[in-house]
């Protein structure tokens, strides 16, 4: 009886491993536009492979794009497709030019996606959005998205680390070193907090603070890189 149980357990284990191996995930770059589009340029990675996983990842990427093009106060943005949001952005630009024909200001929307890192367990994607709708300057926002390769589920920052507190202490040291000679440029340099954007690249972990997150617009984006060798004991994924 025990022998049969062990054989059954082995079969289940091999079956589960086979299922994991079958869930291959690849990416191709696509350009998204519409026939009426004049001011929006979108180049993003599209997941292909296991349908359930790919659909989950692509859906989340598309949500980021729509929310970049359409103000968050617009309730339609939660159900709108990317092509619909492109056309709406263009319609708003046409309306602006109609209302202010003397204006020389041109609108611009550029959204690019990049695979920063991919392993057998996790993929990190950066979505960079630049919007200029006639203000004093454009608005650049970068979003890091981390996904479980087997499920397509977006991972929270806490999911990336076995020991989140230890990682926070390591990140704090790197942060303090990065801003040591320019602390006067930051809002609260002695009150460290992790950024919303944490992702992986080939060298290690990236911390990215968008404009206005911890410093004024003039300071730009703050990016901090922490090498793998300093994080081995804290990571859930490699």
Q: Residue range 5-28: average pLDDT?
A: 58
The whole model's pTM is what?
A: 0.86
Range list for CATH 3.30.565.40 in the chain: 1-153
Whether residue 19 has pLDDT greater than 80: no
Task: Reduce the secondary structure of the chain to three states and give it as a string.
Answer: CHHHHHHHHHHHHHHHHHHHHHCCEEEEEEEECCCCCCCEEEEEEEEEECHHHHHHHHHHHHHHHHHHHCCCCCHHHHCCCHHHHHHHHHHHHHHHHHHCCCCCCCCEEEEEEEEEEECCCEEEEEEEEEEECCCCCCEEEEEEEEEECCCCCECCHHHHECCHHHHHHHHHHHHHHHHCCCHHHCCCCCCCCCCCEEEECCCEEEEEECCCCCCCHHHCCEEEEEEHHHCCCCECCC
Backbone region of residue 25 per phi and psi (left: phi > 0; alpha: psi in -120 to 50; beta: other values): beta
Q: What is the pLDDT of residues 139-170, one digit of tens each?
A: 999 999 999 999 999 999 999 999 999 999 99
Helix axes 82-99, 51-69, angle to 10 degrees: 10
Of 2-6, 66-70, 234-238, the least confident: 2-6
Which CATH number is 1-153 given? 3.30.565.40
Confidence label for 218 from pLDDT (cuts 50, 70 and 90): confident
Q: How far is CA 61 from CA 101, 142, 150, 198, in A?
A: 35, 12, 17, 16
Give the CATH superfamily of 156-238. Answer: Heat-shock cognate protein, ATPase (3.90.640.20)
What does the CA dihedral 128, 202, 226, 67 come to, rounded to 10 degrees? 20
Confidence label for 121 from pLDDT (cuts 50, 70 and 90): very high
Whether residue 44 has pLDDT greater than 60: yes
Judge contact between 48 and 28, C-beta under 8 A. yes
Average pLDDT over all residues of the chain: 88
Judge contact between 224 and 236, C-beta under 8 A. no
Q: How far is CA 27 from CA 125, 127, 202, in A?
A: 11, 14, 17
Judge contact between 89 and 39, C-beta under 8 A. yes
Judge contact between 31 and 42, C-beta under 8 A. yes
Confidence label for 28 from pLDDT (cuts 50, 70 and 90): very high
Which pLDDT value is given to residue 6? 46
Range list for CATH 3.90.640.20 in the chain: 156-238
Whether residue 26 has pLDDT greater than 80: yes
Which pLDDT value is given to residue 118? 96
Going by DSSP bridges, is the β-strand pair 139-148/122-132 parallel, antiparallel, or unpaired?
antiparallel
Whether residue 123 has pLDDT greater than 60: yes
Which pLDDT value is given to residue 7? 47
Confidence label for 198 from pLDDT (cuts 50, 70 and 90): very high
Q: What is the pLDDT of residues 56-110, one digit of tens each?
A: 999 999 999 999 998 665 555 568 999 999 999 999 999 999 999 998 888 999 9
Judge contact between 27 and 34, C-beta under 8 A. no
């Amino acid at each position: 009886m025990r022998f049969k149980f062990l054989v059954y357990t082995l079969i289940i284990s091999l079956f589960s491993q086979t299922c994991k191996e079958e869930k291959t995930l690849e990416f191709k770059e696509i350009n998204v536009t519409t026939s009426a589009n004049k001011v929006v340029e979108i180049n993003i990675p599209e997941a292909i492979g296991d349908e359930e996983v790919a659909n989950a990842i692509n859906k989340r990427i598309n949500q980021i794009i729509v929310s970049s093009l359409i103000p968050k106060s617009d309730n339609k943005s939660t159900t709108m497709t990317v092509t619909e949001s492109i056309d709406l952005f263009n319609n708003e630009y046409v309306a602006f030019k109609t209302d202010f024909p003397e204006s020389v200001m041109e609108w611009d929307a550029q959204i690019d996606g990049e695979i920063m890192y991919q392993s057998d367990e996790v993929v990190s994607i950066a979505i960079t959005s630049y919007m200029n709708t006639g203000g004093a300057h454009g608005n650049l926002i970068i979003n890091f998205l981390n996904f479980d390769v087997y499920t397509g589920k977006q991972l929270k920052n806490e999911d990336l680390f076995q020991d989140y507190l230890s990682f926070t202490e390591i990140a704090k040291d790197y942060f303090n070193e990065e801003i040591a000679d320019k602390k006067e440029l930051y809002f609260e340099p002695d009150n460290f907090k992790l950024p919303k954007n944490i992702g992986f690249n080939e060298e290690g972990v990236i911390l990215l603070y968008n404009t206005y997150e911890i410093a004024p617009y003039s300071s730009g984006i703050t990016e901090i890189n922490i090498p793998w060798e300093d994080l081995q004991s804290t990571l859930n994924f490699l």
